[in-house]
Amino acid sequence: MIGRTLWRKARGLRGKLRRLARSVSARQAHPDDAWAERHLTPPETRVYARMDARDREHALRVTRRMLRDHPDASADLVAAALLHDCGKSIRPYRVLERVLLAAIPNRAARLLPAWTFGPFAALTVRAHHPTLGADLLRTAGGRARVAQLVARHHTPGADAEAALLHLYDDLE
């Protein structure tokens, strides 16, 4: 069990390093927004459109990889995979912040105090983006289950769909 967990974490780290390299410039991101929008409701599409192109591209990779392995995933899970990082859209990251935040595990970020201004505000958004994203979706009129999955994608508990989303996000 421990060996399998370490192997999954190592693969996840490799994916995060690749994502970090791609995240330096938004011009390098080319998300297939038309494909994504076919899986979202109009209110969810508006939330998706406000996401940074790098986060949309990441979300598409997570979603497509998950669908490759789980083609019967529910429509709500597919939409949540596309929107799982939408909470990050409330405060765009600068390039240096993206690099530095990649070095801080999300669990550690959640333990730090919440800052609403200055350079540490990005850390607060990173730590709380699941809840922030769920709030954005609820306010926009998105599906309740999609918002719930977005809220749980880092702490899935006993929710099997949220656990699946967490796994594929971790691999990417």
pLDDT in tens, 112-126: 666 666 667 776 777
Q: Which amino acid is at 73?
A: A
Handedness of CA 131, 24, 33, 61 (dihedral sign): negative
Checking if the pLDDT of 41 tops 80, the result is: yes
Mean pLDDT value of segment 143-171: 96
Percent above pLDDT 90 for the chain: 56
**How many structural domains compose the chain?**
1
**Tokens 């594929």 belong to residue:** 168
> Using N-to-C axis directions, what is the helix angle for 2-22 and 53-69, rounded to 10°?
140
For residues 93 and 141, the model is more confident at 141
Checking if the pLDDT of 101 tops 90, the result is: no
Query: What was the pLDDT predicted at 109?
Result: 64
Among the residue ranges 22-26, 55-59, 97-101, the one predicted with the least confidence is: 22-26
pLDDT band at residue 136 under the 50/70/90 scheme? very high
Q: How many helices (H) and strands (E) does the chain have?
A: 10, 0
Range of the domain at 116: 2-171
**136 near 89, Cβ under 8 Å?**
yes
**Tokens 């800052």 belong to residue:** 115
Handedness of CA 31, 37, 38, 40 (dihedral sign): positive
Burial of residue 94 (CB within 10 Å: 0-12, 13-18, 19+) is exposed
pLDDT band at residue 171 under the 50/70/90 scheme? confident
**H or E element at residue 61:** helix 53-69
Mean pLDDT value of segment 10-38: 74
Q: What is the pTM of this model?
A: 0.78
Q: How is 3-40 classified by DSSP, letter by letter?
A: HHHHHHHHHHHHHHHHHHHHTT-GGG----HHHHHTTS
Distances (CA, A) of 111 to 108, 155, 169: 5, 14, 21
